[in-house]
Amino acid sequence: MKLTSKGRYAVMALVDLARFDGINPVSLRDISLRQGISLDYLEQIFSKLKKNQIVQSTRGTQGGYVLSKKPNEIKLTNIFHAVDEKVKTVQCKKESKKGCNGKATKCSTHNLWDELELHINSFFEKKSLQDLLKNNNDQIN
């Protein structure tokens, strides 16, 4: 199972945004500097987040981004979906007639990986930005 940098960076950037949201819109430049993520990459990620109504943008000198919802309403699965991140543990498609290895049957460990995928996705469905903010604040204090 692999989570790409796009998914990880989207979550990191949104946690950063959520920490400063409510004061003023947060610029991508500030997030880029604090998190060490390329500004160009953040612009691509936030374009998708905006399109999927996770964030809203404001133009101008005091412009930037704010969350579209409260942090407890934004689940990690929402973020992954917005940036086209898929958490998969098997290569085959569930509805495919062919198995994982291109043969007529599924591999001998297919059900194990399938079950793991369900657990992982369930975990991400239960976790919200608020949970990550709380964990982050606990580490700071």
Sign of the alpha-carbon torsion through 74, 22, 134, 36: positive
Can you give the pLDDT at residue 79?
96
- Based on the number of CB atoms within 10 Å of its own CB, is 129 exposed (0-12), middle (13-18) or buried (19 or more)? buried
Residue written as token pair 């098997």: 90
Domains defined along the chain, listed by start: 5-140 (1.10.10.10)
Query: What would the two tokens of residue 138 be?
Result: 């606990």
Can you give the pLDDT at residue 86?
81
Q: What is the pLDDT of residues 23-66, one digit of tens each?
A: 789 999 999 999 999 999 999 999 999 999 999 998 888 889 99
Contact 120, 113 (CB under 8 A): no
Can you give the pLDDT at residue 141?
41
Can you give the pLDDT at residue 60?
84
Can you give the pLDDT at residue 41?
96
Q: What is the pLDDT of residues 69-126, one digit of tens each?
A: 999 999 999 999 999 988 777 666 655 566 666 666 777 777 888 888 889 989 999 9
Identify the residue with better confidence: 7 or 21: 7
Please tell me the number of Cα atoms within 13 Å of 64 on its side-chain side: 23
Q: Residue 6 pLDDT > 70, yes or no?
A: yes
Can you give the pLDDT at residue 25?
92
